[in-house]
Amino acid sequence: MGEEELEQEQEQVVNPWEVSAKDGGKIDYDKLIDKFGCQRLDQSLIDRVHRLTGSPPHVFLRRGVFFAHRDFNEILDAYEGGKKFYLYTGRGPSSQSLHLGHLIPFMFTKYLQEAFKVPLVIQLTDDEKCMWKNLSVEESKRLARENARDIIACGFDITRTFIFQDFEYVGGSFYNNMVKVEKCVTYNKVVGIFGFSGEDHIGKVSFPAVQAVPSFPSSFPHLFSGKDDLRCLIPCAIDQDPYFRMTRDVAPRIGYHKPSLIESSFFPALQGETGKMSASDPNSAIYVTDSAKEIKNKINKHAFSGGQDSLEKHRKYGANLEVDIPIKYLNFFLEDDDELEHIKKEYAAGRMLTGEAKKRLAEVLTELVERHRLARSAVTDEMVDAFMAVRPLPNMFD
Ligand code: TRP
């Protein structure tokens, strides 16, 4: 490794277990695209999604939340030629309650499922969290089921969705594919991609194969038997890219298409884009279990403001939207483009105050969280079983 590269590595770290910007700075997404070798998601692709599906592009596409991809154009080419594909996403169940950032890939995946009318597999990597978070097998399995309820509450179509947890599903064809992948990846290669060391246990070294194989249709014989040619599209946050770089490397060698990816940026902490949402600091994030009062208090007390520190200065200079968390959060969750533009204009000009922006944000998030809470409370144990049952999905492509 050259000295320059080494320096870069110390500046910004993004991998499945650590996301940290260069001291005090923001994540540099352009640099990340270069380093990982993915492609930028440009307007022409977004227009193409609009044209092919006939539904307006999701806010997360319009506003650049999903900003990078790998071979997404190939999925669209195939789709345009009448060939469907399937979606694959997942979650590592490391905690009982999810924060808003956790919902983003699922909200987006639901939109993709609806727009393209395609099947979806969702992997709950209870094994991953058991190994990395040092949870017991039993506790990881329990969290996977709890998280499944939140995922189902996002509104997935049960006739097109299969949710599975590794501790229950790994075996059979899935395991056959894992071994094929494991035979193609050397120890040096995983060390290069993931940075494992001699002290890491062997579970970690072999885990990437578990996250790789849902990209191959034959891992789901009850769904895709005889459809080895089916393509896979993976919506995920960009920190998952290393897993799928490895997967894409192996895919053609064992007879499958490389999975395509559509990748999002990270949802910032309340304290600002330089901060990290941390599980140990409940004030760094809004949770789907927070009450209206908690949401309001967290935003008022902790959301980093780009407004000026006196009213006089604010009226004169306006807010710095680049660092303002209420604006960043509204950019994710306020769907009305005109209203968002209006708020940004007024706030930047100093005619709108931080308190007003925060008030609007609290309303938007309270509504979202309330909706989620209601939906989640309607998800019964039987529904979780139904989503997780190994079963055919007869009309999944209709
Ligand atoms: N490793 C992911 C996490 O910790 C979970 C995951 C498994 C995943 N398969 C995936 C995420 C596919 C996105 C896409 O959250």
Q: Could you give the CA distance from residue 393 to residue 330 in angstroms, rounded to a whole number?
A: 37
Residue nearest atom 5 in ligand 1 by C-alpha distance: 91
Q: Tokens 């053609």, residue?
A: 252
Joined tokens for residue 306: 């780009």
Angle at 146 between CA 143 and CA 150, to 5 degrees: 130
Give whole-number Cα distances, 246 to 224, 286, 306, in Å: 23, 33, 40
What's the gap in Å between 243 CA and the centre of ligand 1?
A: 9
- Fold category of 292-378 in CATH: Tyrosyl-Transfer RNA Synthetase (1.10.240)
147 lines ligand 1 (CB under 6 A): no
Tokens of 81: 């030629």
CB of 102 within 6 A of ligand 1: the answer is no
Q: Which of these, 258, 119, 131, 269, lies nearest to 204 by C-alpha position?
A: 131
Residue whose CA is at the smallest distance from ligand 1 atom 1 = 92
Q: What are phi and psi of 386, to 5 degrees?
A: -65, -45
Class for the domain spanning 15-270 = alpha beta
- Cα-to-centroid distance, 88 and ligand 1 (Å): 9
DSSP for 329-372 reads: HHHHH---HHHHHHHHHHHHTTSS-HHHHHHHHHHHHHHHHHHH
65 Cβ below 6 A of ligand 1: no
Structure tokens, 9: 């590595």
Distance (angstroms) between ligand 1 centre and the Cα of 89 equals 6
Per-residue pLDDT of the chain (398 residues; tens, 9 = 90+): 444 445 444 578 888 988 888 877 888 999 999 999 999 999 999 999 999 999 999 999 999 999 999 999 999 999 999 999 999 999 999 999 899 999 999 999 999 999 999 999 999 999 999 999 999 999 999 999 999 999 999 999 999 999 999 999 999 999 999 999 999 999 999 999 999 999 999 999 999 999 999 999 999 999 999 999 999 999 999 999 999 999 999 999 999 999 999 999 999 999 998 765 666 678 999 999 999 999 999 999 999 999 999 999 999 999 999 999 999 999 999 999 999 999 999 999 999 999 999 999 999 999 999 999 999 999 999 999 999 999 999 999 99
Question: Cβ(140) to ligand 1 under 6 A?
Answer: no
Whole-number Å distance between alpha carbons of 147 and 60: 22
Side-chain half-sphere exposure of 398, counting CA atoms within 13 A? 4
Verify whether ligand 1 is closer than 6 Å to residue 91 (CB atom): yes
User: So what's the pLDDT on residue 11?
Assistant: 76
Ligand 1 touching residue 242 (CB < 6 A): no
Is 300 exposed, middle or buried (CB count within 10 Å of its CB: 0-12, 13-18, 19+)? middle
- The finding on whether 326 has its CB within 6 A of some atom of ligand 1 is no
Residue nearest to atom 11 of ligand 1 (CA): 90
Helix (H, G, I), strand (E, B) or coil at 30: helix
| CA distance readout (Å), 197 to 3, 158, 187, 204 | 21, 41, 10, 10
Domain with CATH 3.40.50.620 in the chain: 15-270
pLDDT the model gives residue 2: 45
For residue 235, the ligand 1 atom closest to its alpha carbon is: 14
pTM for the whole structure: 0.95
Cβ neighbour number for residue 311 with a 10 Å cutoff:
11
Domain with CATH 1.10.240.10 in the chain: 292-378
Cα 278 to Cα 173: distance, rounded to the nearest angstrom: 37
Question: What pLDDT shows up at residue 25?
Answer: 80
